[in-house]
């Protein structure tokens, strides 16, 4: 399922597919090409806020995501949940300004807390934020120390002109390197042989 040619605006927990997913929900094989705007926090291309056993798998976002706080190409905030085999190419824009350490903006998700995991993901979308706004290519923070990131990559120099906050399990790569990571992302990805993603890896179902 996908959303295209649309503009979605909400307050908290805003997503193109699901606003607030919880209690062992599953979101598979979905995509977003719409513009998503969150006036407050928890804004994502697929899910705004995911809590308690949610699994977001084999999804991608190409739409522009804008939010004050907690923005991500796939999910705004991940809490006790999982993102697996997903990617983002859409721009992420954080609108908050000032010294606010909770203003989190990531290519895949803003933050991951309470035994959350991010596995086999990548981001090539540009991330732009206001003054002192926390930002990262994949995820800004694993806030409570129980969450993890594995095998996830982002295009170098796309986070406010640099690489942003580097979390263990995330790696920056050049354009040419990113176009070859299908072989290390796992069996859910394949080469972009039909040039539907400018040469970057795509999901098997695309």
Residue 198's φ and ψ, nearest 5 degrees, are 55, 30
Q: Range of 162's domain?
A: 2-203
Q: What span, in angstroms and rounded, lies between the C-alpha atoms of 61 and 86?
A: 9
pLDDT in the model for residue 54: 98
Using CA atoms, how far residue 68 sits from 12, 34, 65, 130, in Å, is 10, 18, 10, 9
User: For the chain, what is the domain count?
Assistant: 1
pLDDT in the model for residue 143: 78
Average pLDDT per consecutive 10 residues, the chain (206 residues; last block may be shorter) = 96 97 98 96 97 98 95 97 98 79 87 96 94 84 89 97 92 98 97 97 98
Domain containing 143 — which CATH number?
2.160.20.110
Contact 123, 154 (CB under 8 A): yes
Q: What span, in angstroms and rounded, lies between the C-alpha atoms of 164 and 85?
A: 22
Contact 134, 105 (CB under 8 A): yes
Q: Quick one: 94 exposed, middle or buried, by C-beta within 10 A (0-12, 13-18, 19+)?
A: buried
71's tokens: 């923005």
pLDDT in the model for residue 195: 96
pLDDT in the model for residue 95: 86
């Amino acid at each position: 399922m996908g959303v295209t040619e649309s503009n979605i605006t909400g307050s908290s927990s805003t997503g193109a597919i699901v606003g607030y997913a919880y209690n062992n929900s599953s979101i598979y094989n979905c995509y977003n090409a719409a513009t998503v705007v969150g006036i407050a926090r928890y804004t994502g291309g697929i899910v705004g806020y995911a809590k308690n056993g949610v699994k977001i798998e084999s999804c991608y976002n190409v739409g522009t995501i804008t939010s004050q706080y907690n923005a991500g190409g796939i999910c705004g905030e991940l809490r006790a949940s999982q993102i697996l085999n997903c990617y983002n190419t859409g721009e992420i824009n954080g609108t908050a300004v000032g010294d606010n350490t909770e203003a989190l903006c990531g290519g895949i998700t803003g933050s991951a807390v309470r035994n959350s995991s991010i596995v086999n993901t990548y981001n090539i979308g540009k991330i732009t934020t206001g003054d002192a706004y926390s930002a990262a290519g994949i995820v800004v923070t694993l806030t409570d120390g129980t969450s993890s990131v594995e095998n996830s990559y982002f295009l170098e120099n796309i986070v406010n002109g640099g690489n942003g906050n580097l979390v263990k399990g995330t790696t920056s790569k050049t354009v040419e390197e990113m176009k070859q990571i299908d072989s290390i992302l796992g069996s859910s990805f394949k080469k972009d042989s039909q040039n539907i993603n400018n040469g970057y890896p795509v999901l098997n179902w695309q």
